[in-house]
Amino acid sequence: MTAAIDVQNLVKSFGRTTALDGLDLAVRPGEVHGFLGPNGAGKSTTIRVLLGLLRADSGRARVLGSDPWDDAVRLHRRLAYVPGDVELWPNLTGGEAIDLFARLRNDTEPVRRNELCERFDLDPTKKGRTYSKGNRQKVALIAALASEVELLLLDEPTSGLDPLMEVVFQECVREAREAGRTVLLSSHILAQVEELADRVSIIRQGRIVETGSLTELRHLSRTSVRAVTTRPPDVLATLPGVHGLHSENGQVRFEVDGDQLPSVVRELGELGVHGLTAHPPTLEQLLLRHYGDEPAARREGTAR
């Protein structure tokens, strides 16, 4: 079985900046592959190389078995792309843009277009210049999701969408996977990728630092817990999977591995818990913990 995307040792520099520094990426057919990384890690550059819009300095990239630079046109009939920042023609309506993108890919009239416009609550009669960022994003999403392609390249596709639309988007990606399509979903939000992805690759400074299924990456996925207990919480520190316990004035903070969560929750009950918040770690926390990254990427990462 040929990989949907097969990238080996990809290098790409812009002047003195090295955007991709020996990147390897393997996406299997039919999977939703999460492509995680902080802003500026090289996600968009990778996707643009995969589209043949940028030419790699060295390394090998194969998309659906073809070279993306040499076979761009034939390849693009079989894939659809949603950029993270969609720009539309100011005097074309959203509906015109959706139709145009489909026809540029030689699609026949996409059947699901109107259905998707309704689900995403998009008015296709408005001109490109009058759309907000979220609505421009919807136009590109509808154009991509309505097409019968084998591969979807989604580069932070939900930036600017509200939570309701995020849910619609997740449904659509699941439907795409059920229809047998391959999805490369780039994001800087761990939770979004956890929700959808079969496998995940984490990119940092132009290299893949982790790749595998979510279970394989379980060690990366810890829940941060903050609780108020009536009895002293020191016993928690002895439980397996609990890290970085810190207690003060009856309030306790710690992180717990995903698979140890049941026993910890049980123990918290015993301690007479009367206040509890738990949230998954952000990507930045993960990278900070595992690779000692500077928190430079935090600004945008924690915005949602």
State which residue, 122 or 217, has the beta carbon closest to another protein: 122
CB 147 within 8 A of CB 111: no
Among 7, 23, 25, 54, binds another protein (CB under 8 A): 54
Burial of 2 (0-12, 13-18, 19+ CB in 10 A): exposed
Among 23, 38, 46, 81, binds another protein (CB under 8 A): 81
Tell me if 76 contacts another protein by CB under 8 A: yes
Q: How many helices, marked H, and strands, marked E, lie in the chain?
A: 10, 13
Buried b / exposed e over 220-252, threshold 16 CB at 10 Å, is: bbbbbbebbbeeebeebeeeebbeebebeeeeb
CA torsion, points 84, 27, 34, 201, in degrees to nearest 10? -110
Among 112, 119, 126, 174, binds another protein (CB under 8 A): 126
Burial of 52 (0-12, 13-18, 19+ CB in 10 A): buried
Tell me if 96 contacts another protein by CB under 8 A: yes
Shortest spacing between CB 66 and another protein, in angstroms: 13
Among 33, 105, 199, 204, binds another protein (CB under 8 A): 105
State which residue, 71 or 255, has the beta carbon closest to another protein: 71
Single-letter code of the amino acid located at 161: L
CB 216 within 8 A of CB 202: no
State which residue, 109 or 248, has the beta carbon closest to another protein: 109
Site for another protein in 130-159 (CB under 8 A): 130, 140, 153
Shortest spacing between CB 63 and another protein, in angstroms: 12
Tell me if 95 contacts another protein by CB under 8 A: yes
Residues in contact with another protein by the rule CB under 8 A: 44, 48, 51-55, 72-74, 76-77, 80-81, 83, 85-93, 95-101, 103-106, 123-127, 129-130, 140, 153
